[in-house]
A and B are shown apart, each in its own frame.
Chain A
Amino acid sequence: MSLSEASLPKGKDYRSSHTGHGAGKADTVFENGRIYTVNPAQEWAEAVAVKDGVFVAVGSRADMTPFIDEHTQVVDLKDRFIMPGLYDMHTHPDLTLAPGYAGYLDVGLEDPAPAQVKQSILDYAEANPNSEWIFGQYFVHFHFKREGIEADKNWLDSFISDRPVAVHDRSWGCILVNSKALERAGIDANTPDPRNGFIERDGITGEPTGILVDGAYSLIHAAMPPTPALALQRAYREGIQYQTSRGVVGTKYVHVCENRLDALKVVDDAGEMTLRVEAAISWQDDIFPVRRRWELLAGERHYYRSARLNANAVKFHFDGTHGSYSSYLSTPWPGQSEWRGGLNLTPEHIVDMVVDMDRRGIRVIAHCVGDGASDLFLDAVAEARKRNGPNGVRHQCAHSTVLLDENLPRFKELNVVAEFSPVGWLPEPYARAREVMGEERFDRMYNFKGVLDHGGLAVMGTDWPVSTINCWVGFEAMMTRKNPWFDNDETFHGHAITVEQAIRVMTINGAHCMGIEDSAGSIEVGKSADFIALDRNLFELELQGNVHNTQVDLTMMAGQVVWDRSGELSNTPLQAPLNPDNVTNFYDK
């Protein structure tokens, strides 16, 4: 069965107030499970009945009997642990995968000599007469120096001058371009250097040499055609497939442009969107240009809307990162008298932007790594609530690496979700690098518990490629604060949360974060029939070392089994489109 055949009813089966209500017997009954519902009114069940993609009964096996007739498919859950599907509220399959699928030049040698780089470029030019730009990787400075060749535009121009060429060096510290590429990008002796890099210039004439360092190569990226549509489609498709195999039923692709939305729509229209996606339009051009930003925000985003896809969110980069000491803190960085980090936008800009987006019904997802950045963001939301009224959109504070204690109650008060991302709350070098923030902030790092204890909503995001796309790693570590792979008791700063709390973070809180908590996120009558069947019971195991490698046997999304790990339903009408043979495993390989 192809994905499109297996996809949800479309067109004629849409439901509204006066038509299409599911009535009568269930399509499917799942029995003999240990079902943890995340519904406080009925925590556990052993069976569920599903009709038209919605739970129509949740309870004991006997409760299902009235819903079963000869057309009902009855599935044995084999005493497995069942819970609602997971929500990964911040990730980037496009940024991780699309460049590799774009068909760019790849010299394909570990240690290419200049002549080999040249030959690769010429071969690529010949094989790709229609892609004007020749862009890719890589050359090795050392070999140019060994051979006494200057790696500059003159070298490239000597064999290719009619098409723009840009080749990264092996360590991605700079890019080598020819004269045509400089011309296309409008780079000449008068072009100012960007803040975080420079245009290498001839000391006498000031003319660019063709070497662009660090931030300067974004000048070339901006002039190049966008990432090819097929590469974006493949990246999203494979990302969705992998997430589905890990039990994710709702996710956010944080940072999109019109081309990315087009790619997501292609996947959705093909019936291959096996989870719900909220896409956040980039407010800044710092990752890729968004040429139709204002058309999208003004309403063009609705063109992409479906049951599975929406673009009613905007993402901005408020501060930097801890690694570069640019996250914005509430007090100076350790050892500094004044430096508090950097903000990419003024607080006034943020206030006006949040108020405006809130009024338009667009969720603001704010990258706030430092406790000073989230403080300002919450101030901006407070202003939006004051001006627009209290019932606006639920905004999202992304990363929240360190929060001020004073702000913990404000997440509930202002209806803002605290998102913890990336998977940095386990002891490992990446997380340890965050300790540069200074000891007094250690206990406030990744403070899930603080937000939850104050009645706020906390969610998680894998932030692939910053950390692994397998959300089970972070799921385990939020309950242990330990490294799943370490055989010791080293604990990361801050406080662990309970299994019950963590399951809510991964399920119903995600549904809240997507604004669908009334129709999804827990196993309840009337909600979307989403659940996952696991190979282990999260309430009956030693957490450390045993949650991160949980296997998801089945993923059901809106009544459709979309992932079947061992093919247990392969000869039934519930046959799943995805199985280990057709999903790329980005985690274990």
Chain B
Amino acid sequence: MAAVPVTIVSGFLGAGKTTLLNRILNSDPSDKGKGLKVAVMVNDFGELNIDSQLVVSAEQNMISLENGCICCTVESDLIAQLRKLLQLREGRPDAILIETSGVSEPSKVVNTLRYPEFENHLTVDAVISVLDAEQFTGLEGSNKRLAMDQLSVADIVVINKVDLVSDEQLQNLKDNWLFPNACVYETTYGELPLALLLGQQAHRTVQDEHEDHSCDEHCQHQHDDFYSASWQSEQPLKIKALKSFFHNLPASVYRAKGFVRLSGAEQQMFLLHKVGSRLSIDRQLHWQGELNNQLVFIASAELDKTQLAADLAACTA
């Protein structure tokens, strides 16, 4: 069974996390069967606004919705709750989204997901830090520490409520808090493309577009405000050049995923996962498929695919 991707959303109270979560929980189940079964883990149901029409069943700390989504409270123990989700006989989620409360350290959640116990069952898809542009100035003491923790593990930084601050304040926030190569998404009402939140959604949508329109692999589409491109090749890539290529990609490319061959280890395949500013390349132990490079890119702005292909070709040995 494939590992279930987990997205972590952190942010202070009032930053706009709930808007994001509600969007997923209340998504239309009839949308061509594309609705993913998402388990959303929150601290308190009270934060959410679940349409009661959608509720199929509710027990203790778990609510099942008509669209297949599950919503549960984490209470005090994340590990036990994750175990429980993975053991569900029916309705094992396609994706898990964990909302870390405004008072807990998201780095601890990220670390827990990487324990050996979950190694083959869960994978960290994306860590998203939602900042309230207005709230984020003048943080002190434990709140400041927490903000640093949130940003230190963030792959994608969402700056919400940008309409409530001046350009100068926004620039201050960026100067004081952002890191080099940060992937930043600015918004006003926590309205984010689902593809930004959930890797599954992003890749599934790319596939759907291919099927629906039966277009070729280099086709670009606008869907849910994002653009995609894919690339294939058989030549092994040089790791240094590849890393440098990803480092220099425009910030609008917030996701890339695929498999690559690397020179020096041509008989092996590596899983490449870029989300926001994080790039991970991991050796696949039991690869059965063909030894080809296959990469998919997802961006918030149109991609120059010719340039992309040329740059990637330059990475081959």
Q: Using a CB–CB distance below 8 Å, which chain A residues touch chain B? A: 140-146, 148, 170-171, 173-174, 192-198, 203-204, 206, 213-214, 323-325, 333-336, 339, 433, 436
* Given contact pairs A198-B115, A214-B111, A145 touches B179 in the complex (Cβ within 8 A): yes
Q: Shortest CB–CB separation between residue A456 and chain B, in angstroms?
A: 31
* Given contact pairs A148-B180, A173-B105, A203 touches B282 in the complex (Cβ within 8 A): yes
**Minimum-distance CB pairs A-B, first 5:** A142-B148, A203-B282, A141-B152, A142-B152, A193-B116
Q: Tell me whether B34 is interfacial, beta carbon within 8 Å.
A: no
Q: Tell me whether B223 is interfacial, beta carbon within 8 Å.
A: no
- Dominant SS among interface residues on chain A: loop
Q: Which residues on the B side are within 8 Å of A198 (C-beta)?
A: 111, 114-116
Q: Shortest CB–CB separation between residue B44 and chain A, in angstroms?
A: 15
Q: Which residues on the A side are within 8 Å of B75 (C-beta)?
A: 436
Q: Shortest CB–CB separation between residue A215 and chain B, in angstroms?
A: 9
Residue in A148, A324, A325, A334 whose beta carbon sits within 8 Å of that of B179 in the complex: A148
A145 and B60 contacting across the interface, CB-CB below 8 Å: no
Q: Which residues on the A side are within 8 Å of B115 (C-beta)?
A: 193, 195-198, 214
Residue in B76, B145, B153, B281 whose beta carbon sits within 8 Å of that of A436 in the complex: B76
Q: Which residues on the A side are within 8 Å of B76 (C-beta)?
A: 323, 325, 433, 436
Q: Which residues on the B side are within 8 Å of A170 (C-beta)?
A: 145
A174 and B179 contacting across the interface, CB-CB below 8 Å: no
In the docked arrangement, what's the CA distance between A170 and B145, Å?
9
B152 and A145 contacting across the interface, CB-CB below 8 Å: yes
Interface residues on B, range: 20 to 34
Residue in B117, B145, B280 whose beta carbon sits within 8 Å of that of A203 in the complex: B280
Q: Which residues on the B side are within 8 Å of A336 (C-beta)?
A: 80, 84
Residue of chain A at shortest CB distance from B61: A335
In the docked arrangement, what's the CA distance between A148 and B280, Å?
16
Q: Which residues on the B side are within 8 Å of A213 (C-beta)?
A: 111, 114
Q: Shortest CB–CB separation between residue B145 and chain A, in angstroms?
A: 7
Q: Tell me whether B124 is interfacial, beta carbon within 8 Å.
A: no
Within 8 A of A (CB), among B257-312: 262, 265, 270, 280-283
Q: Shortest CB–CB separation between residue B76 and chain A, in angstroms?
A: 6
Residue in A148, A197, A325, A335 whose beta carbon sits within 8 Å of that of B60 in the complex: A335
Q: Can you list 30 A-B contacts with CB-CB less than 8 angstroms, sorted by A residue number?
A: A142-B152, A144-B152, A145-B179, A148-B180, A170-B145, A171-B145, A171-B149, A173-B107, A173-B108, A193-B115, A194-B116, A195-B115, A197-B111, A198-B116, A204-B239, A204-B265, A204-B270, A204-B281, A204-B282, A204-B283, A206-B283, A213-B111, A213-B114, A324-B79, A325-B80, A333-B80, A335-B84, A336-B84, A433-B76, A436-B77
Q: Which residues on the A side are within 8 Å of B179 (C-beta)?
A: 145-146, 148
Residue of chain A at shortest CB distance from B181: A148
Q: Tell me whether B151 is interfacial, beta carbon within 8 Å.
A: yes
In the docked arrangement, what's the CA distance between A332 and B116, Å?
24
In the docked arrangement, what's the CA distance between A173 and B265, Å?
34
